[in-house]
Amino acid sequence: MKGQGTRLFCAIAGGGDTATGLLLVAAPALVLRLLGIAHPDGNLVFLRFVGVFVGCVGLSYLYPWLLRDRLGRDGRVMATAEITAGFRLAVALFLGVAVAVGSLELPWVTVGAYDAIVALAQIGLLVRGDFGHGG
């Protein structure tokens, strides 16, 4: 994954979260429909708020690539991978428990599963030393 692979991983993970966040802000009902989740009664302002957070997490993957200094970029890529892996595991745990106790609908598990898979991939890549060599 060293070099171009790290850049591609960050582009996919960051780009996906950034796009999802923007969609949650601009069209939360569409995102719910795409996930197969029933539209809740009332205002979707809290889902839009989550969208801001998701979008910012996505942008954090992309930020290090704006830096010209390779050593500075490598450190920021590693820090981003470490921090976002923790965020993703927390989201996966929360969603798993919320679905298990019946607070959220079953389709929310797909969001948690995706976050868990990306987090575990990041942890594996960090352990192997693949992050921090962004090229």
The upper half-sphere exposure of residue 73, i.e. CA atoms within 13 Å in the direction of its Cβ, equals 16
CA 130 – CA 47 distance, rounded (Å):
34
So what's the pLDDT on residue 5? 77
Amino acid (1-letter code) at residue 110: T
So what's the pLDDT on residue 2? 56
So what's the pLDDT on residue 41? 83
Q: What rounded mean pLDDT belongs to the chain?
A: 90
Q: Is 36 helix (H, G, I), strand (E, B) or coil?
A: coil
* pLDDT above 90: residue 60: yes
At 98, is the pLDDT very low, low, confident or very high (cuts 50, 70, 90)? Answer: very high
CA 3 – CA 134 distance, rounded (Å):
5
pTM over 0.75: yes
* pLDDT above 60: residue 21: yes
